[in-house]
């Protein structure tokens, strides 16, 4: 409990929470990008592989 309170106090410090906000906002966008990239470029599911085949080769991704 005491840990939670000290964490909240720290989060409430404007500068620190601004940094935290910036980091997590960027990470969320990057995670979304990684999901798209994985599906189109790396997933080994046959259907995804076959659908994205030409796109993967042309982007220079390891394909087969």
Q: What is the binding site for another protein (CB under 8 A)? A: 11, 17, 20-22, 24-26, 28-30, 32-37, 39-42, 44, 46-47, 49-64
CB of 60 to another protein, least distance (A): 4
| Smaller CB separation from another protein, 6 or 57 | 57
Distance CA 36, CA 56 (A): 13
CB of 43 to another protein, least distance (A): 11
CB of 5 to another protein, least distance (A): 13
Nearest 5°: the CA angle 30, 32, 37 is 90
Q: Can you state the percent helix, strand and coil of the chain, rounding each to 5?
A: 85, 0, 15
């Amino acid at each position: 409990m005491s840990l939670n309170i000290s964490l909240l106090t720290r989060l409430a410090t404007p500068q620190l929470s601004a940094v935290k906000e910036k980091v997590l906002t960027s990470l969320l966008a990057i995670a979304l990008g990684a999901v798209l990239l994985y599906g189109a470029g790396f997933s080994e599911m046959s259907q995804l592989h076959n659908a994205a085949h030409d796109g993967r080769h042309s982007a220079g991704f390891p394909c087969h």
